Chains A and B, each alone.
Chain A
């Protein structure tokens, strides 16, 4: 992975379409299948309340996933995104009571900056992204533990400023869900209609060609990591809103589900293929899987095994082998 090489053999051209179709269609199919399976076991699953619970617990994961997706589209990875989310909740809890809305803005800026930093190191020091973000993971979790004195900080005053995200419901679903969907659609439109919208995909598919066509690949890569940080910050806001507090390890557990969501959604780990809406579908697959495992009476202990296997399987399926010469 460290230095995947662009080799454009011709045989890929024949295989590509069919694989593409599978990758695009499969997630939705799987989702439907899962929903049916679960609702057979547990009819109430299709009831408004459990659906609401599903959607609302999926929202923060979806946000994180969309963030990582930006990086994965460029062919990289961001392992620090969940830790950044946790750090975000801590910063919120520290700043909001005194600074109010300003605190929220500061937190979003700080976390986005942390993301950008990942990008800078990756782009300018030319260090593989998984190394950079692995390091960042350690760094920021340490910082979060330090800032919070390794303790959970309740958001007393001013919680109302973000409380509405998960507290206020329209049509029975919390604002956070609409926010997530809205952003997803927004990003999708951006990719489609912004003049440079395709840059992410171009870099993921053929970085040299993009570079030699005048795409500012470094800048795009940095921005991708920035976006990852930004969405982590949003996820942090949503989590803090529903948890009424910030904790240095609050979101750490969401890394695997988020990455799984992106890959399961059909975004290739090799980059260049995929999008936010697919990622949201991927998140739902993971979410239903989780609920489903309980409904089907699967021991929660197996959750990790399932995540691990799902990730590997999804990667194996979406991976575009024709585009990677030497895999590391």
Chain B
């Protein structure tokens, strides 16, 4: 129990002298870093790239960034709910793959005679939600660590997608679905508005519902939550369902954008997503953060990717950068919690 509480708040000092001092200074420092850091980093990046390349700040590129943030943002918002609980969802790429194929094969396509239009998108989301449900149940009922459960489910997702894929990417012919990726509303791709909508919904859930509020409670101190009689399993499972649904939606968005369903359509997204969440300032230890922070994080990642391309850096360098960033972000935010006898696995 003890370590878990450490994660939640500064341990109460043993002696009176220290009792009335506020949360230990180092914690305050790391909290300041959490709140102020990401926005500053974002602005810094924009300034740097703006200086490096005049086109970076052009309207068309801004729209490009918005479009490229859309899918990542949707994924990251869902992931935030899981990470707030101290869990993780490594299955996003698999879920996206399955979802994209479900969408491509249910909407009008060049493989079969289905033509369910927008219902296909719903089906994609539903498929994602189902994955989330299974991951959640595996995690809560069987007590399988979330990263293991979702690692497995991710593989299953890829597998199902591969079966549906059957060697050739089915093309989406449905005008409605395609228009998501192709139309422009006031200059922005509809996908951008979808992402914004998801962001708002995510924020409302986090602010006004049990799922959201208990996310902080359970992630902050699961033991206390249990003592307070909160049905922890239910809310954990719900968080995974949310994450699964957003991954499903992201898969649908990718399908509508590229006009195909593909097994590798989510390639690299898991990294980008986790990075976006932790860079935004949500602790992997759980209990701290939120979708509003994640929005910043997603923008940082997208700007970084876009800027690096503009400057002409090979895409796979981003992978290294993101990898390092994840670890540093987690290490920095958890630094003040280190003790000699703390056990971290």
Quick check: do A and B touch in the complex, using CB within 8 A?
yes
B32: interface (CB < 8 Å): no
B317 touches A142 (CB 8 A): yes
User: Using Cβ atoms and an 8 Å threshold, which residues of chain A touch B182?
Assistant: none
- Selected from A131, A302, A308, the residue in CB contact (under 8 A) with B154 is A308
- Selected from A2, A127, A143, A256, the residue in CB contact (under 8 A) with B327 is A127
A24: interface (CB < 8 Å): no
Given contacts A302-B159, A328-B145, contact A3 B326 (CB under 8 A): no
Smallest Cβ-Cβ distance to B335: which chain A residue = A125
B67: interface (CB < 8 Å): no
In whole angstroms, how far apart are the Cα atoms of A256 and B327 in the complex?
A: 22
B247: interface (CB < 8 Å): no
B316 touches A130 (CB 8 A): no
Count A-B pairs with CB separation below 8 Å.
197
| Contact pattern, A 130-151, Cβ under 8 Å of B = 1, otherwise 0 | 1110111111111101100010
Stretch at the interface among B56-64, B135-143, B293-301: B135-143
User: Using Cβ atoms and an 8 Å threshold, which residues of chain A touch B327?
Assistant: 121, 127, 131-132, 135-136
Given contacts A135-B323, A139-B324, A269-B145, contact A2 B284 (CB under 8 A): yes
Instruction: Give the Cβ gap from A166 to chain B, nearest Cβ, in Å.
Output: 28
User: Chain B interface residue count: which class?
Assistant: 35 or more
In whole angstroms, how far apart are the Cα atoms of A251 and B337 in the complex?
A: 36
B271: interface (CB < 8 Å): yes
Instruction: Give the Cβ gap from B308 to chain A, nearest Cβ, in Å.
Output: 12
In whole angstroms, how far apart are the Cα atoms of A259 and B286 in the complex?
A: 26
In whole angstroms, how far apart are the Cα atoms of A326 and B287 in the complex?
A: 14
In whole angstroms, how far apart are the Cα atoms of A4 and B146 in the complex?
A: 12
Instruction: Give the Cβ gap from B139 to chain A, nearest Cβ, in Å.
Output: 7
In whole angstroms, how far apart are the Cα atoms of A321 and B147 in the complex?
A: 16
User: Using Cβ atoms and an 8 Å threshold, which residues of chain B touch A303?
Assistant: 159
User: Using Cβ atoms and an 8 Å threshold, which residues of chain A touch B325?
Assistant: 135
User: Using Cβ atoms and an 8 Å threshold, which residues of chain B touch A207?
Assistant: 343, 345
User: Using Cβ atoms and an 8 Å threshold, which residues of chain A touch B341?
Assistant: 208, 211-212
In whole angstroms, how far apart are the Cα atoms of A14 and B329 in the complex?
A: 43
Interface of chain A residues 283 through 328 with chain B (CB within 8 A): 299, 301-309, 311-312, 315-316, 319, 321, 324-328
User: Using Cβ atoms and an 8 Å threshold, which residues of chain A touch B222?
Assistant: 326
B317 touches A301 (CB 8 A): no
Smallest Cβ-Cβ distance to B162: which chain A residue = A301
User: Using Cβ atoms and an 8 Å threshold, which residues of chain A touch B159?
Assistant: 301-308
- Selected from A129, A140, A211, A302, the residue in CB contact (under 8 A) with B345 is A129
Interface of chain B residues 1 through 45 with chain A (CB within 8 A): 1-4, 7
Interface of chain A residues 207 through 247 with chain B (CB within 8 A): 207-208, 211-212, 217
B3 touches A1 (CB 8 A): no
- Selected from A132, A136, A137, A319, the residue in CB contact (under 8 A) with B142 is A319
A105: interface (CB < 8 Å): no
In whole angstroms, how far apart are the Cα atoms of A122 and B331 in the complex?
A: 9
User: Using Cβ atoms and an 8 Å threshold, which residues of chain A touch B147?
Assistant: 1, 77, 130
B330 touches A127 (CB 8 A): yes
Smallest Cβ-Cβ distance to A145: which chain B residue = B316
B253: interface (CB < 8 Å): no
Of residues A5, A140, A207, A208, which shows the largest number of chain B Cβ atoms within 10 Å of its Cβ?
Answer: A5
- Selected from B2, B145, B342, the residue in CB contact (under 8 A) with A327 is B145
B322: interface (CB < 8 Å): yes
B121: interface (CB < 8 Å): no
B344: interface (CB < 8 Å): yes
In whole angstroms, how far apart are the Cα atoms of A35 and B158 in the complex?
A: 27
Of residues B156, B344, B345, which shows the largest number of chain A Cβ atoms within 10 Å of its Cβ?
Answer: B345
User: Using Cβ atoms and an 8 Å threshold, which residues of chain B touch A134?
Assistant: 271, 274, 323, 326
Smallest Cβ-Cβ distance to B151: which chain A residue = A311
User: Using Cβ atoms and an 8 Å threshold, which residues of chain B touch A306?
Assistant: 159
User: Using Cβ atoms and an 8 Å threshold, which residues of chain B touch A145?
Assistant: 314, 316, 319
| Contact pattern, A 55-95, Cβ under 8 Å of B = 1, otherwise 0 | 00000000000000000001111000000000000000000
**A residues apposed to B, CB below 8 Å:** 1-7, 74-77, 121-122, 125-132, 134-143, 145-146, 150, 207-208, 211-212, 217, 256, 259, 269, 271, 299, 301-309, 311-312, 315-316, 319, 321, 324-328
Given contacts A1-B148, A211-B341, 20 further A-B pairs with CB under 8 A are A1-B146, A2-B286, A3-B4, A3-B343, A3-B344, A76-B345, A77-B147, A125-B334, A134-B326, A135-B326, A136-B323, A138-B323, A138-B324, A217-B343, A256-B151, A269-B148, A306-B159, A312-B149, A315-B144, A315-B152
Of the A-B pairs whose beta carbons lie under 8 Å apart in the complex, a sample of 15, sorted by A's number, is A126-B337, A131-B327, A134-B323, A140-B320, A145-B314, A146-B314, A269-B144, A299-B163, A308-B158, A319-B142, A321-B143, A326-B4, A326-B222, A327-B144, A328-B145
